[in-house]
Amino acid sequence: MKNANEVITLKSDSEGPRIKENMQDINVLANTSILIEGNRIAAIGPLAQVEAEFPYLIAEAKVIDAEGKVVMPGLVDCHTHLVHGGTREQEFMMRLNGATYMEIMNAGGGIHATTKQTRDASFEELYRKTSRHLDTFLKYGVTTVEAKSGYGLDWETEKKQLEVARKLHETHAIDIVSTFMGAHAVPRDYKGREDEFVDVIIRDMLPKVAELHLAEFNDVFCEKGVFTPVQSRRILEAGKALGLMPKIHADEIEPYKGAELAAEVGSISAEHLLVASDAGIRKMAAARTIAVLLPGTAFFLRAPFARGRLMIDEGVPVAIATDFNPGSSPTMSLPFMMNLACMHMGMTLEEVLVATTINAAYAINRGDQLGSLEVGKQADVLMLDVENYKQLQYFYGMNHTNTVIKNGRVVVRNSFLI
């Protein structure tokens, strides 16, 4: 790939997820070519230098001309509820007429409605629906997606969701990293017996997830009226003992000391954090817990945005994701999330690039393979129809993705899937 206006490599000297001023460090290069061999990046540098170093590879290389375009790593969407049955536009209408998200959920809608639709859907139906969604993600430049279960709330359906994700990881161009989220809601028939459901998760579900290698992470919705911090801690610790890394839906709707809990249990990330406390943010900074912020959820629920600016200033590594799900964030556009983070969280153009590439890769434990253009890393590369990276947010609400190379293979060309 040669002639790009700008190559944004996201390479930096700092180790681990980027914090503070390192979140500005995107490394913009002119006159830079990228040589890909197989599914890895073999060289990055001035064309003459790459040619001199790898004459045998260059002789056979297929050349992609990126003239007038910006080149950057594939986007990593590190928080989605990818596999689910149905849609909930009816609830969206109710919310436009004044109902709240929690009211709808407590009346049997919300997560419960999607749970029913996911239980009712066959493996093939879920597979086909999710595959279409992945096509859309890819067209928007997303090359890796984290996928949470949590619309089964019984073992059979949780397993079905995770198996759909696993099969799509094998068959679809996009890579999928799975999270078990059996603790997404308390099933209706366990109302008043919440601790019993926590026992079911710990005793019956988590060991099977680990044994069948169905997920790498274990997530819980720690929220008033869903799982308490005490119950959440039990579930996360039980997963840890089985090798599942903790993640946590923390402080999304009401402050509940979720950020504090994430830091205390050594969670790789705390997610949402719309109403996280100052103390919680400081604790996350000290523990280097990654904040996965989901501005689409605040936008769509008309809730206050997470305090991204403060978190970065306090030293929390910040990532941004879509939270793609049928209730609180039905979008597959990570670029739009980047725009919202600039406009409503006080983040800079550079910070949102870091937050959706290298920091997002670290949030799913893939920082060593994804998220930056560096020799040896996976060849997930985007070519964008803008003259410079500043135009990515300036021309807002549009898809600038022209070409997507996934694992060394062109999968989107001229904005069309191939």
Stretch that binds ligand NIG, among 7-15, 124-132, 326-334, 389-397 (CB under 6 A): 326-334
Stretch that binds ligand NIG, among 62-70, 107-115, 186-194, 258-266 (CB under 6 A): 107-115
CB-CB contact of 392 with 386 (8 Å): yes
Quick one: which of 323, 350, 351, 380 contacts ligand NIG (CB under 6 A)? Answer: 323
Both tokens of 385, joined, read 């129809």
Q: How many CB atoms lie within 10 A of CB 141?
A: 27
327 touching ligand NIG, by CB under 6 A: yes
Amino acid making up residue 382: L
Nearer to Fe ion, 6 or 252 (CB): 252
CB-CB contact of 231 with 194 (8 Å): yes
Stretch that binds ligand NIG, among 108-116, 121-129, 193-201, 261-269 (CB under 6 A): 108-116
User: Could you say which residues in the range 300-329 bind Fe ion, by CB under 5 A?
Assistant: 323
362 binds, among ligand NIG, Fe ion, none (CB under 5 to 8 A by kind): none
Nearer to Fe ion, 17 or 326 (CB): 326
246 forms beta bridges with 218
Q: How many residues bind Fe ion, per CB under 5 A?
A: 1
111 binds, among ligand NIG, Fe ion, none (CB under 5 to 8 A by kind): ligand NIG
Q: Which positions ≥6 away from 242 have C-beta within 8 Å?
A: 206, 207, 209, 210
Between strands 409-413 and 381-384, the pairing is: unpaired
85 binds, among Fe ion, ligand NIG, none (CB under 5 to 8 A by kind): none
User: Could you say which residues in the range 369-398 bind Fe ion, by CB under 5 A?
Assistant: none
252 touching ligand NIG, by CB under 6 A: yes
Q: Where are the alpha helices (DSSP H) in 99-154?
A: 101-106, 111-120, 123-139
Identify the sign of the CA torsion 120, 125, 130, 133: negative
CA–CA separation, 338 and 321 (whole Å): 9
- As measured in angstroms, the least distance from the Cβ of 209 to ligand NIG is 19
Interaction site with ligand NIG (CB under 6 A): 81, 110-111, 114, 221, 249, 252, 297, 323, 325-328
